């Protein structure tokens, strides 16, 4: 385990070259009315997905077999961990290292979630951390909670995002053959892992109707995982605790931790983005941490980065609130 001993602000500056520049960019983005160009293809696809998901929800409650209910839960958990443990903590942040079999496993379960290929996901996410709440943040909360949640996927991206994002070094992502394989085969992979297998497995193994399996385990589950992820962009920048940094928009929130298998400690995560745990919450609220720790026990994961206690305390004292941290950890574990 590697302990990060630098101040959070220094580590933030490592990400965001100049904090004053970011503050100025945030103020600038509040002033201007941004012209949006709606992408109607995405609007129609998301409307169709939500209609399908509502049909799936009805079937899940009233018609599906119990095995199918368990299957939906398992797929949500696996797909989410492919996003949290893979795209997010491993590839976007490099908060730990993983050997080839673990990276293949994470890439495959990431394809269950169908949230763009990992290289694109990580590029947008690095922009989110580096230019949070500015025009170069793909889902800036300055543009409203609906935009932060899902509206950003329904319109063309801001030109500042493309200009600033082009300055990022993504060579580590392009150098990983597992990510290049996913990128080159993305549509077949999501076809198989997000839609085909979730539908066929219930039909072949416990005789579920293909109609119910498709609407519950493919459409409803996909839509549910998307909203759980999007809640980190909206709810986790809106309602909750801020023990580590009072100036940030990010918060720690119990419910997003539960729905997003351990990603709800977002105030902690924005303050210490290189920490593989992404929060101080207990393991039962952080299943992704459990997955990474199991990987380490099996020798598939190494060099997990954590933040030293004295650094966390200094950060809370200077930029957050120690009493709030104590109260939150007492309540949330």
Binding site for ligand ST9 (CB under 6 A): 39, 42, 80, 83-84, 88, 114-116, 120-121, 123-125, 127, 138, 153, 156-157, 161-162, 165-166, 225-226, 228-229, 232-233, 260-261, 263
CB of 255 to ligand ST9, least distance (A): 12
CB of 323 to ligand ST9, least distance (A): 27
- Residue closer to ligand ST9 by CB (options 165, 295) is 165
Q: How many CA atoms lie within 13 A of 137 on its CB side?
A: 26
> Are residues 263 and 250 in contact, defined by beta-carbon separation less than 8 angstroms?
no
- Residue closer to ligand ST9 by CB (options 136, 296) is 136
CB of 33 to ligand ST9, least distance (A): 18
Where are the alpha helices (H) located in the chain, listed in sequence order?
8-15, 19-31, 40-62, 66-81, 100-113, 118-130, 145-149, 159-165, 171-174, 177-184, 186-190, 197-206, 210-213, 221-233, 254-259, 266-271, 287-297, 309-319, 322-332
Q: What does the alpha-carbon distance between residue 258 and residue 108 come to, in Å, rounded to a whole number?
A: 23
The CB-nearest residue to ligand ST9 is: 165
> Are residues 79 and 87 in contact, defined by beta-carbon separation less than 8 angstroms?
no
- Residue closer to ligand ST9 by CB (options 216, 279) is 279
CB of 146 to ligand ST9, least distance (A): 14
- Residue closer to ligand ST9 by CB (options 97, 157) is 157
Structure tokens at 235: 């709810």
- Residue closer to ligand ST9 by CB (options 208, 224) is 224
CB of 315 to ligand ST9, least distance (A): 20
């Amino acid at each position: 385990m590697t302990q990060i001993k630098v101040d959070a602000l220094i580590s933030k500056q490592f990400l965001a070259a100049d904090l004053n520049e970011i503050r100025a960019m945030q103020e600038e983005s509040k002033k201007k009315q941004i012209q949006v160009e709606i992408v109607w293809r995405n609007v129609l696809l998301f409307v169709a997905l939500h209609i399908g998901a509502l049909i799936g929800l009805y079937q899940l409650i009233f018609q599906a077999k119990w095995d199918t209910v368990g299957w939906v839960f398992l797929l949500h958990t696996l797909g989410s961990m492919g996003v949290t443990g893979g795209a997010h903590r491993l590839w976007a942040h490099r908060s730990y290292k993983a050997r080839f079999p673990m990276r293949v496993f994470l890439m495959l379960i990431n394809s269950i979630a169908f949230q763009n290929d990992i290289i694109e996901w990580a590029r947008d996410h690095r922009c989110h951390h580096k230019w949070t709440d500015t025009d170069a943040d793909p889902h800036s909360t300055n543009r409203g909670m609906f935009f932060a949640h899902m509206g950003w996927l329904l319109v063309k991206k801001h030109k500042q995002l493309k200009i600033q994002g082009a300055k990022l070094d993504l060579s580590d992502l392009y150098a990983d053959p597992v990510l290049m394989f996913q990128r080159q085969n993305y549509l077949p992979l999501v076809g198989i892992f997000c839609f085909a297998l979730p539908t066929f497995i219930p039909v072949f193994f416990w005789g579920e109707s293909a109609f119910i399996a498709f609407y519950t385990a493919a459409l409803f589950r996909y839509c549910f995982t998307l909203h759980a992820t999007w809640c980190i962009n909206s709810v986790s920048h809106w309602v909750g605790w801020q023990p580590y940094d009072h100036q940030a928009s990010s918060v720690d929130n119990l419910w997003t931790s539960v729905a997003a298998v351990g990603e709800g400690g977002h105030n902690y995560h924005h303050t210490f983005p290189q920490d593989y745990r992404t929060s101080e919450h207990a393991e039962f609220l952080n299943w992704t941490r459990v997955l990474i720790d199991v990987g380490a026990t099996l020798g598939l994961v190494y060099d997990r980065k954590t933040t030293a206690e004295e650094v966390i305390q200094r950060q809370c004292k200077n930029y957050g609130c120690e009493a709030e941290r104590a109260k939150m950890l007492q309540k949330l574990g």
